Amino acid sequence: MPEEFKIIETQEDFNEAIKGYIPPDEALKLNEKIGVQEKEIADLKSKNLSHERSLLRSKIAYETGLPYELSERLSGETESEIRADAEKLSGYIKTANNTHQPKFSTETHSENNGKSAFLEMLHELNN
């Protein structure tokens, strides 16, 4: 049942009645402070999410054999999307690394040819 209205007759009764209230100017200051703190919390959450994604990209890049420098190029919002992008990029890199270079023949060149010494040295450097 609601409280009955009580007539305030003394300053002490008035002080007791308003004990739980905050003055308007203090309430405005508190609201401003709360607004600043909420913005700081939102910024920290955003930074945390960014760092978590960066860490996840680095981890996935390591697991798929990508260089660390390429980890920030991975795209996706979820772990499975990032992993799929990493595997796709890893496939391109492995293909690029497996290009076939022409091999030199193991035939010896005649001593009369002026290039033979250089070709032999080049052959030794490649092996």
Instruction: Give per-residue pLDDT as tens, 35-92.
Output: 999 999 999 999 999 999 999 999 999 998 888 888 888 988 889 999 999 999 888 8
- Would you state the structure tokens that stand for residue 54, as one six-digit string? 């960066």
Domain count, the chain: 1
Q: Is the pTM of this model over 0.85?
A: no
At a CB cut-off of 8 Å and minimum separation 6, what does 75 contact? 81, 82, 85
Instruction: Give a yes or no: residue 122 inside a domain.
Output: no
Domain carrying residue 78? 11-101
Instruction: Give a yes or no: residue 119 inside a domain.
Output: no
Supply angle C-alpha 66, 70, 75, rounded to 5: 100
- Residue 88, CB-side half-sphere exposure with 13 Å CA sphere: 10
